[in-house]
Amino acid sequence: MDPTFNNTDEWWNSIPEDVRPKKDQPFYHLLAENKQSYYLAYVSEQNLLPDDTNKPVRHPQVKELFGEFGGTHYQLKDIHSH
């Protein structure tokens, strides 16, 4: 999570101005997926939507960052302990 926008001007300017989010809000690095692919996304807080499916995430990088799915959420791995 970035407390405010922390990406390139090129990325920022590629968003149509009428839907461009403000820079002074948190931005999140997400493991995103759709029916066709998996990808990393950079999303403003105003554009986050809850996932109320309670289904496990299929993204292949989930196991690098998280432990097992607990039915409603994943436990973040302590990746800095080694």
Report domain extents, the chain.
1-47, 50-82
In degrees and rounded to multiples of 5, residue 18 shows phi and psi of -70, -15
Contact 27, 11 (CB under 8 A): no
Residues 6+ apart with CB under 8 A from 10: none
Helical H segments across 1-58, by residue range: 9-13
As given in the structure block, the two tokens for residue 20 are 């461009």
pTM for the whole structure: 0.79
Contact 2, 22 (CB under 8 A): no
Residues 42-54: pLDDT tens digits? 999 999 998 888 8
Residues 9-30: pLDDT tens digits? 999 999 999 999 999 999 999 9
